[in-house]
Structure 1
Amino acid sequence: MDDQRKKIMALREKLAAGGVTLGSWMQLDNSSVAEIIGNAGYDWVAVDLEHGHFSLSRLPDLFRALELGGTLPFARVAQGRTKEIKQALDAGARGLIIPMVESANMLADCISRAFYPPDGIRGVGYSRANLFGKKFDAYTASHRDGIFMTAQIETQKGVDHLADILKVPGLDAVMVGPYDLSGSMGMTAQFDDPVFKQTLAQILACCKAAGIPCGFHVVQPDPNALQEKIGQGYQFIAYGIDAVFLYAQARAPELG
């Protein structure tokens, strides 16, 4: 069993036992940044292919840099289309985060694109994920256990269909996208609004009833906010973004 698959299985075991897994987020297309954040102690780091500015040819180097620090390389794809899922996984992503999931059928289609036949429709071939054929048999035989699948709930429609979404085979976790979700409710970034808070509580309760870990993206890095989310029951948490970390420390101090 390869080390990355072991880490994915350990991640699942940790969540199943009620533990918390902490990851982070990348939007900057730079392998040095990936190496730094990959050595920062996170369980996983998601390369954001939806809002980041990454080229396909750079993904293998970014994933390698994350792996150097013992961090699992994940990818948040833009739409969940066949091409982008296949390319992210072939480049070495060990987890996929699917944005804007609004129905069970949509999620089932995305998961099918991530798995080889007979479990799905992913195209089979040599790639970096299987070391260009050297580890082909081992990777293809264990690919389903070695890929972590997350659905982002980011719209009111996704909330309305959450009970069905949580029943889709192959789903490992759910993550709330707070900015998009609040925007879809007509209250962008109004995270203290009682209606938004009630919606979050509804999502948490639904996930708990289904036995699926619920996650949250704490975009602005704040240890107190992180502990608050853990106390509320979130288990699969993304903390910060590389660009936000940089800006927070790069701001010029006020001179006396």
Structure 2
Amino acid sequence: MKQLRERLASGLPCVGGWLGTSSPLIAEAMASCGFHWVAADMEHGQIGVADLPALFAACQLRGAAPLVRLPGHDPILARRCLDAGALGLIVPVVQSASAFADFATHCLYPPAGRRGVSLCRANGWGDSFQDYLGFRPLLVPQIETAAGAAAAQDIARLDVVDALFLGPYDLSADLGHPGDFNHSDVVVAMDRVRSACLQAGKPSGIHQVAPDPAQLQARIAEGYRFVAYSTDIVALRAALGNPTTIVESALSS
């Protein structure tokens, strides 16, 4: 976690993988691609709390920091993910600084916050109990609505925030233009979030869903520094293409 936070603070890009499946083998394979972090998607993926320890171990075996994209703002679930060993949380649909500040207290131990204290996987079931009491997870609010974009400056200024992460599909849908990332309303909202990050001295992030190296390079050129690149399922489908079409084309030629 120290290396990831230092890399973000230095302005260097941090590129992450995105897991929607609960296979530790897929997690390890993804981490072995050189990602700085890998997020287990508990919002849209098929992943439960019981899956997390094996996924985290697989990621860390290959040097990737394990993160979780939460399905909502449930503080109990956030605590369970952290207890399982998550080094950071990506929190969806954040729309105000006050709401996120309150949520963040559940991710920090007293006196800084209200996280419950226990012997858990994250502290080696007590072996590193004292050291872990000072642990501060990477906290990344996800901006996915017009309200969130409007409040981005206040959210980015929170001390507990490490980066802001754009959800382009949900943001475009909330603005009435689902999937149209070039629509002026969407462009303005995304620029507002990037500007808020620059003013607060925080990295901006985005999910580059298509596994296209040129598009990944474009996101970096645009100034994004916390970038999720594709997903396990999207990358698999893109790599396989449509074998039936390929075979039929070969037979007809």
TM-score (norm 1): 0.93
- The alpha carbon displacement at 1:68 in A equals 0.8
Corresponding residue for residue 108 of structure 1 = 101
Q: Aligned partners of 2:238 and 2:171: how far apart in 1?
A: 24
Corresponding residue for residue 180 of structure 1 = 170
Q: 1:51 aligns with which of 44, 53, 58?
A: 44
Gaps of 5+ in 2: none
Corresponding residue for residue 224 of structure 1 = 214
Corresponding residue for residue 62 of structure 1 = 55
Does 1:210 find its partner at 2:174?
A: no
Q: Aligned partners of 2:12 and 2:60: how far apart in 1?
A: 22
Does 1:21 find its partner at 2:21?
A: no
| 1:1-256 map, 5 Å | 8-140=1-133, 142-144=134-136, 147-253=137-243, 254-255=246-247, 256=250
Instruction: Spell out, residue by residue over 1:40-71, the C-alpha distance to the aligned partner (whole angstroms, 9 max, x if none).
Output: 10000000011111122111111111111011
Q: Aligned partners of 1:35 and 1:206: how far apart in 2?
A: 35
Gaps of 5+ in 1: 1-7
Does the 8 A contact of 2:153 with 2:193 survive in 1?
A: no
SS of alignment partner, residue 152 of structure 1 = strand
Does the 8 A contact of 1:96 with 1:148 survive in 2?
A: yes
Q: In structure 1, what residue type is equivalent to 2:199?
A: A
SS of alignment partner, residue 86 of structure 1 = helix
Does the 8 A contact of 1:218 with 1:238 survive in 2?
A: yes
- The alpha carbon displacement at 1:234 in A equals 0.7
- The alpha carbon displacement at 1:14 in A equals 2.0
Q: Aligned partners of 1:48 and 1:219: how far apart in 2?
A: 13
Q: In structure 2, what residue type is equivalent to 1:58?
A: D
SS of alignment partner, residue 114 of structure 1 = coil
Does the 8 A contact of 1:108 with 1:169 survive in 2?
A: no
Deviates further, 62-71 or 200-209:
200-209
SS of alignment partner, residue 34 of structure 1 = helix
Does the 8 A contact of 2:163 with 2:203 survive in 1?
A: yes
Does the 8 A contact of 2:149 with 2:190 survive in 1?
A: no
Q: Aligned partners of 1:137 and 1:56: how far apart in 2?
A: 24
Q: Aligned partners of 1:11 and 1:135: how far apart in 2?
A: 21
Q: Aligned partners of 1:220 and 1:93: how far apart in 2?
A: 26
Bigger radius of gyration: 2
Q: In structure 1, what residue type is equivalent to 2:15?
A: L
Question: What is the root-mean-square deviation in Å for CA atoms of aligned residues?
Answer: 1.1
Does the 8 A contact of 1:175 with 1:214 survive in 2?
A: yes
- The alpha carbon displacement at 1:245 in A equals 1.0
Task: Count the aligned residue pairs.
Answer: 246
- The alpha carbon displacement at 1:23 in A equals 0.6
- The alpha carbon displacement at 1:162 in A equals 1.2
Q: Aligned partners of 1:200 and 1:82: how far apart in 2?
A: 28
Does the 8 A contact of 2:123 with 2:132 survive in 1?
A: yes
SS of alignment partner, residue 46 of structure 1 = strand
Does the 8 A contact of 1:44 with 1:71 survive in 2?
A: yes
Dislocated runs of 4+, deviation >4 Å: none
Q: Aligned partners of 1:198 and 1:227: how far apart in 2?
A: 21
- The alpha carbon displacement at 1:133 in A equals 1.0
Corresponding residue for residue 4 of structure 1 = none
Q: Aligned partners of 1:24 and 1:80: how far apart in 2?
A: 22
